[in-house]
Every structure is written in C-alpha cells, then in structure tokens.
Structure 1
Amino acid sequence: MADITDIKSIVYTEKTLGLQEEGVIVVQTSPKVTKNQLKAIFKEYFGVNPLKVNSLRQSGKVKRFRGKEGKRADFKKFYVKLPEGANIESLSA
C-alpha cells in the first residue's frame, strides 16, 4: 500500500507552473506507486478527489563523476488534474 512518504516532491518548472494555473499538479514519486494508489493518497491526506491522473516512468540518467560511471535513481511522474477550486499546499512538513 502506498503512503504519503512515497511522494518525493511536487515538480516546479516553467512548464509545470503553467499547468498549475489550469489545475494540474505534477508530482514525482517512487516507481512502485500506481495511479489508484496515488488517487487514494490525495483523497486521504489532502481531502481532494483527483479528476484525472496521467503517469510517466522516467529512467535515471547515466552520469560520470571523476571517471567513474554512476546512475541516477529511476522515478515516476504523475500529472494530477484537480477539481476547480481545489488547492494543495506544499509537501514539506
């Protein structure tokens, strides 16, 4: 079962700030979270029932540091459409 700790952060970029004006929030999570689990998290912790949830898996980039190769962590990104007038505060507790 997914939990609020599976949500890593809300993504704030130029593109996502534009989407927020339309009521869409972009959330970065661990790769194991599903759409239904994310809907349940939003309903339980934020009291908001999302209208629509789209997901995308993103593989971590391969990077080099001082000649050694490493890989960033994989993650999942969710685009969550909220009902009109609903507002989500920051996840920092």
Structure 2
Amino acid sequence: MADITDIKSILYTEKTLGLQEEGVIVVQTSPRMTKNALKEVFREYFGIVPARVNSLNQDGKVKRFRGLAGKQNDFKKFYVKLPEGAQIDSLAV
C-alpha cells in the first residue's frame, strides 16, 4: 500500500515548469511505486484523478569523490497529466 511518503519530491526544472503549464506534473518517487498506487495517492490526498500517468525508471549516477566511486540512489519519475481545468494549489510555483 503506497502513501504520500513514497513521493520524494516534485521536480522543478525548466522543462518541468513548461510541462506544468500544459497540466503535467513531474513527481519523483521511490522505485517501488506503481502507476495505480500513484493514482490512488493523488485521489486520496489531492482529490484529483489523473487523466494519464507515464513512468520512467531513473538509474542513479555514478560519481567519484576523492578517487572513490559512489552511486546515487535510483528513483522512479512519473509524468502525471491532470484533467482539464484541475490544479493543485500547493504545487504551484
């Protein structure tokens, strides 16, 4: 059972801000989150049923620090299309 704590963040980049104008929110979550679980979270906490949800698994980058290799965490990214006219006020920039 997924809940709101599985959502790590809302991504705010130049590309995602352009998508927000079209009604698409980009959400970063834990890798175990599913499309149906994310739809349920949006329905329960925001009162909105997404029109469409696309997902993308993002592997963590390999970085070097003082000669030692390390790896950032893997995450899942969701592109959530909101219904026409719907808006989440707390997510607006």
Q: Taking structure 2 as the reference length, what is the TM-score of the superposition?
A: 0.94
- Name whichever of 81-90 and 6-15 sits farther off: 81-90
Matches within 5 A, 1:75-90: 75-88=75-88, 89-90=90-91
Question: How many residues are matched?
Answer: 90
Alignment of 1:17-56 (within 5 A): 17-56=17-56
Written as runs of structure 1 = structure 2, the 5 A alignment for 1:67-78 is: 67-78=67-78
Counterpart Cα distance in 1 of 2:87 and 2:68: 44
1:65, CA displacement in angstroms? Answer: 0.5
1:3 and 1:68 map into 2 onto residues whose CA distance is 36
**CA displacement at 1:85 relative to structure 2:** 2.0
In structure 1, the gaps of 5 or more residues are: none
Please state how far the C-alpha of 1:87 moved relative to its aligned partner: 1.5
Spell out, residue by residue over 1:34-55, the C-alpha distance to the aligned partner (whole angstroms, 9 max, x if none).
0000000000000000000000
How many Å apart are 1:84 and its aligned residue?
1.8
**Percent sequence identity over matched residues?**
78
For 2:74 and 2:86, the matched residues in 1 are separated by 30
**1:52-74: per-residue Cα shift (whole Å, max 9, x none)?**
00000000000000111100000
Distance in structure 2 (CA, Å) of the matches to 1:68 and 1:85: 49
